[in-house]
Amino acid sequence: MAYTLTTAISELKRSLFWNERAVVREPLEGLVDSSNCVFYTAQKPISATGITVYDNDGDEVSSGSYSVDSTEFGTIRFDTAPSALHYVSYTAQSLTDTVLTNIVKNGFDKMEQSYNRNWYITDSSISSSASSVVDPVVGSLTFSVSRLQVKLYLLCCEYELVYALWKHAAANYFQFRESRSAGVQINRTRNADQLKEVLAVLQGQIDDVIVSVANQQDDTPWGSWVPGTKSDTYISSWAYWPDGKQDRGEVA
Q: What is the pLDDT of residues 94-150, one digit of tens each?
A: 888 889 999 999 999 999 999 999 999 998 999 999 999 999 999 899 999 999 999
What's the number of domains the chain is made of? 2
Same domain, residue pair 100 and 165: yes
154 class by beta-carbon count within 10 Å (0-12 exposed, 13-18 middle, 19+ buried): buried
Residue type, 224: S
* Residue 42 contacts residue 182 (beta carbons within 8 Å): yes
Among 93, 113, 134, the domain-final residue is 93
Q: Looking at the domain assignment, is residue 240 inside a domain?
A: no
Q: Looking at the domain assignment, is residue 235 inside a domain?
A: no
Q: Looking at the domain assignment, is residue 34 inside a domain?
A: yes
- When pLDDT is averaged across residues 195-199 and rounded to a whole number, the result is 93
Q: How confident is the model at residue 225 (pLDDT cuts 50, 70, 90)?
A: very low
Residue type, 43: Q
| Rounded Cα gap, residues 224 and 206, in angstroms | 18
Q: How confident is the model at residue 182 (pLDDT cuts 50, 70, 90)?
A: low
Q: How confident is the model at residue 171 (pLDDT cuts 50, 70, 90)?
A: confident
| Neighbouring-strand partners of residue 186 | 176
Q: What is the H or E stretch that residue 179 is in? A: strand 175-179
Same domain, residue pair 45 and 34: yes
Buried b (16+ CB within 10 A) or exposed e, 94-127: bbbbeebeebbbbbbebbeebbeeebbbeeebbb
Same domain, residue pair 126 and 9: yes
Same domain, residue pair 40 and 52: yes
Q: Looking at the domain assignment, is residue 63 inside a domain?
A: yes
pTM of the complete model beyond 0.85: no
Q: What is the pLDDT of residue 201?
A: 96
Same domain, residue pair 151 and 189: yes
Same domain, residue pair 191 and 104: yes
Q: Looking at the domain assignment, is residue 238 inside a domain?
A: no
Show the domain range for 89. 19-93
Please measure the distance between the N-terminal and C-terminal CA atoms of the chain and give it in whole angstroms.
63
| Rounded Cα gap, residues 138 and 145, in angstroms | 10
Same domain, residue pair 117 and 189: yes
Q: What is the pLDDT of residue 178?
A: 62
Non-local CB neighbours of 247 within 8 Å, separated by 6+ positions: none
Of 67, 74, 79, nearest to 29 (Cα)? 74
Q: What is the pLDDT of residue 209?
A: 94
Torsions phi, psi of 236, nearest 5? Answer: -85, 0
Residue type, 131: S
Q: Looking at the domain assignment, is residue 232 inside a domain?
A: no
Same domain, residue pair 9 and 130: yes
Q: Looking at the domain assignment, is residue 37 inside a domain?
A: yes
Same domain, residue pair 38 and 162: no
158 class by beta-carbon count within 10 Å (0-12 exposed, 13-18 middle, 19+ buried): buried
Same domain, residue pair 109 and 41: no
Q: What is the pLDDT of residue 62?
A: 96
Same domain, residue pair 210 and 123: yes
Torsions phi, psi of 14, nearest 5? Answer: -65, -30
Among the ranges given (113-122, 201-210, 242-251), the one the predictor scored with the smallest mean pLDDT: 242-251
Among 42, 75, 93, the domain-final residue is 93
Q: Looking at the domain assignment, is residue 24 inside a domain?
A: yes
Among 93, 126, 146, the domain-final residue is 93
Same domain, residue pair 80 and 104: no
| Rounded Cα gap, residues 233 and 194, in angstroms | 47
Q: What is the pLDDT of residue 118?
A: 94
| Rounded Cα gap, residues 15 and 162, in angstroms | 12
203 class by beta-carbon count within 10 Å (0-12 exposed, 13-18 middle, 19+ buried): middle
